[in-house]
Amino acid sequence: MPQTAGTLDSQQKTTSRRPAGTLYRGNTGMWSWVLHRITGVAIFFFLLVHILDTALVRVSPEAYNAVIAQYQTPIMGLGEVALVGAIVFHAFNGLRIILIDFWNAKYQRVLFYVVIGLWVVTMLGFVPRHLINVFSH
Amino acid sequence: MTTTIEAPRSPYSRSTKKSGVNWEKWGWIYMRVSGVVLVVLIFGHLFVNLMIGEGVSALNFAFVAGKLTNPFWMVWDVIMLWLALIHGGNGMRTLVNDYATTRTSRGILKVAILVSVVSLIVLGTLVVFTFDPCPAGAPADLVASFCTSL
C-alpha cells in the first residue's frame, strides 16, 4: 500500500502493542546494547574500587591482606563470577560492535548469538575452577 | 531592511565550523582501539590472577610483590590502568550525555568522572612505580620470600 501524506501509518505501527521489527527495539540489537551499557557501568565502578584496594600495597602488607581477604569470602567469590561474566560479555560484545562497524552490519544478529555462545564457553571454563578455589580454602 | 530567511526543510547542521580536531571521532576510534587491547590485557590479568594455581585464594601482598617487581607486569598493569580508566571514563561520559537532562547535571557528572579518572591514573601509576616489595619492619611471613634471602 502506498504511503499517503497525512496518515500516521508508520507511527501507529511502531506504537502498537507488538511493534514491527525495527533494528533495535525488543530485539537482539536492543538487548546487546542494554547489556553493554549495564556491564560497562558495573565494570567502571569495580575498576575504581579495585585500583583503590590495590593501592593499599603502598600502605602496608597487613592493610592489603586484610582487604584482599574480603575478596576471598564465598559471597565475594560469587560476586567475582558476576564480575567476570560482565567483563567477558562486554569484551565479546565490544568485538561484535567493532565487526559491525568495520566489517558488515547485516551479521549483527548472528554475531550476538556468537557472543552468547563464546560467553557460555568461557564461563564454563572459568566458573567451576573459580568456585573450587573459593570454596575449598 | 531585508531579512534572509533560511530555505525551509534544509538539513539541520550541527556546527558551521569546519576546522579543528573532531574529538568525538577520535573518542569513537579510541573506544575501539583500546577495547581490542583491553580484551587481551584484562583476559591475561584475569587468567593469571584467578585461574592459575589456587586463583583468588592465593592472592596476597607477596603475590602482588612478585608481579610488581617484574618489569613485564609493571608495564602490563600501567598500560591496562591508563587504557581501562580512559575507556571507562569516556563510556560514562556517553551515558551522562544520554541520560542527564540538564546542562548543570551533565557538567557536574562529567567533572566528577574527569576527577575520578585523573586521580586514579595518578594514584595507580605512582603505586606501580614507587612500590616497595620489602617494606622495612614488615613481618617476614607477609612479604615475598626474596625479601629474607637478601
Give the per-residue pLDDT at B146.
84
**Contacts A44 to B, Cβ<8 Å:** 88-89, 91-92
The mean per-residue pLDDT over the stretch A45-58 comes to 97
Residue A56 reports pLDDT greater than 80: yes
Tens of pLDDT, residue by residue over B74-118, are 999 999 999 999 999 999 999 999 999 999 999 999 999 999 999
Q: Do A52 and B85 touch (CB under 8 A)?
A: no
Residue A92 reports pLDDT greater than 80: yes
Q: Do B123 and A55 touch (CB under 8 A)?
A: yes
Q: How far apart are CA A105 and CA A97, in angstroms?
A: 9
Q: Does B33 touch chain A (CB under 8 A)?
A: no
- Provide the residue ranges of all domains of chain B, joining segments of one domain with +: 25-148
The mean per-residue pLDDT over the stretch B46-52 comes to 95
Domains of chain A: 24-135 (1.20.1300.10)
Enumerate the H helices of chain A as residue ranges.
9-15, 28-55, 61-70, 74-102, 108-135
Instruction: Give the phi and the psi of residue A29 in degrees, each rounded to 5.
Output: -60, -45
Q: How far apart are CA A36 and CA A69, in angstroms?
A: 30
Q: Do A133 and B123 touch (CB under 8 A)?
A: no
Give the per-residue pLDDT at A57.
95
Calculate the CA B122 to chain-centre distance: 11
Q: CB A72: neighbour CB atoms within 10 A?
A: 19
Sign of the C-alpha dihedral, residues B71, B33, B51, A137?
Answer: positive
Q: Do B59 and A68 touch (CB under 8 A)?
A: yes
Distance to chain B for A48, nearest Cα, Å:
7
Q: How far apart are CA A8 and CA A30, in angstroms?
A: 24
CATH code of the domain occupying B25-148 = 1.20.1300.10
- Of A9-23, A30-44, B123-137, least confident by mean pLDDT is A9-23
Q: What pTM does this model have? A: 0.84
Say if CB A58 and CB B131 are below 8 A apart: yes
Give the per-residue pLDDT at B96.
97
Calculate the CA A133 to chain-centre distance: 24
Give the per-residue pLDDT at A3.
47
Model ipTM over 0.95: no
Residue labelled with grid coordinates 511502531: A14
Give the per-residue pLDDT at A4.
47
Residue A48 reports pLDDT greater than 90: yes
Residue B134 reports pLDDT greater than 80: yes
